Structure 1
Amino acid sequence: MRSLAKFLFEAGMLKKMRRTGYPFLGTGNESVADHSFRAALLGYMLALQQPELDAPKVALLLLHHDLAEARTGDLNYMQKRYAKADEEKAIEHQVRDLPEVLAESVRSLTREFNESKTPEAMLARDADQLDFLIELKEQKDLGNKYADDWIRYALKRLQTDAGKELAREILTTDWTEWWFEKRDDLWAPPNGENGDK
């Protein structure tokens, strides 16, 4: 259990590790763990709509896909032109003290995601990009004039029909639509009444 405790402390670094592309975009900010959480949820929900896919496996692929970044950091597209992270070495060092059944699970899931050959891995890769697309759409809605250029390239990386379909919906949905109902009775009720109905 000591080795598992150490591994979990290390995985917790992803809550502190910032995604490094946003300074180049000029707006936006999230941790690697923030990204992995929504990507896993997104991938799981997309996979549930496709009975032939193993939805829990898609979620697990996404929960593991950036674990190496606790050691390598998050290299953005500019940085990757000049530096290469040895993610396989990082994963090996992360799991070397874990019981073999746990170590092999981490190795196998990260390998499957990176190879992107199974239907689950292809959907997981799309979910990784779709989470980024959601962030970009939010930045666009908030007025970032560069977000459209980034969105164009994120769309080109999508592989699955389900990923492409969800991308279309993301791009036509205002980021506040889930909560901001444009109703006078909610925001300007008569006589100062509580408008939350």
Structure 2
Amino acid sequence: MRAGGQRIVEEYENGDSPEVVCARDADKLECLVQAVEYREQGYANVQAWIDSSLAGLRTDSAKALADAALNMSCVEWQRTYLR
């Protein structure tokens, strides 16, 4: 990996800039939504996945989106937030 790529990975893993926080929250939200979709499809044992994703969220906006994902059907959530 080139030096610039290493710097970006290091910043993502160790930084706390607004951009890094937003990127991490986006990753956690994607994981949470995927776990919720799996739960709706009948897969078991996804609660720990959901809980760890929730625990990693840092911004109020990400927490609000997570709350919506947990309290709506996947179709309703997508219709509302992915227009």
Aligned to 1:113: 12
Deviations 1:146-178 (A, max 9, x none): 112321121111111111111111112212334
TM-score by length of 2: 0.78
* Alpha-carbon shift at residue 123 of structure 1 (Å): 1.3
Q: Does 1:153 align with 2:52?
A: yes
- Bigger radius of gyration among the two: 1
Give distance in 2, aligned partners of 1:172 and 1:116. 31
Q: Which runs of 5+ in 1 are unaligned?
A: 1-93, 96-102, 180-197
1:39-58, aligned counterparts within 5 Å? none
Aligned to 1:172: 71
Give distance in 1, aligned partners of 2:41 and 2:15. 33
Q: 1:116 to 1:170 in 2, by over 3 A?
A: farther
User: Over aligned residues, Cα RMSD in angstroms?
Assistant: 1.7
Aligned to 1:135: 34
Q: Which protein, 1 or 2, shows the higher relative CO under an 8 Å CA cutoff with sep ≥ 6?
A: 2
Query: Which residue identity is paired with 2:54?
Result: L
Secondary structure of residue in 2 paired with 1:176? helix
* Alpha-carbon shift at residue 121 of structure 1 (Å): 0.3
Give distance in 2, aligned partners of 1:116 and 1:153. 20
TM-score by length of 1: 0.36
Percent identity among equivalent residues? 31
Query: Which residue identity is paired with 1:135?
Result: Q
Q: Which runs of 5+ in 2 are unaligned?
A: none
Deviations 1:56-92 (A, max 9, x none): xxxxxxxxxxxxxxxxxxxxxxxxxxxxxxxxxxxxx
Query: Which residue identity is paired with 2:67?
Result: R
1:1-197, aligned counterparts within 5 Å? 94-95=1-2, 103-104=3-4, 106-177=5-76, 178=78
Aligned to 1:36: none
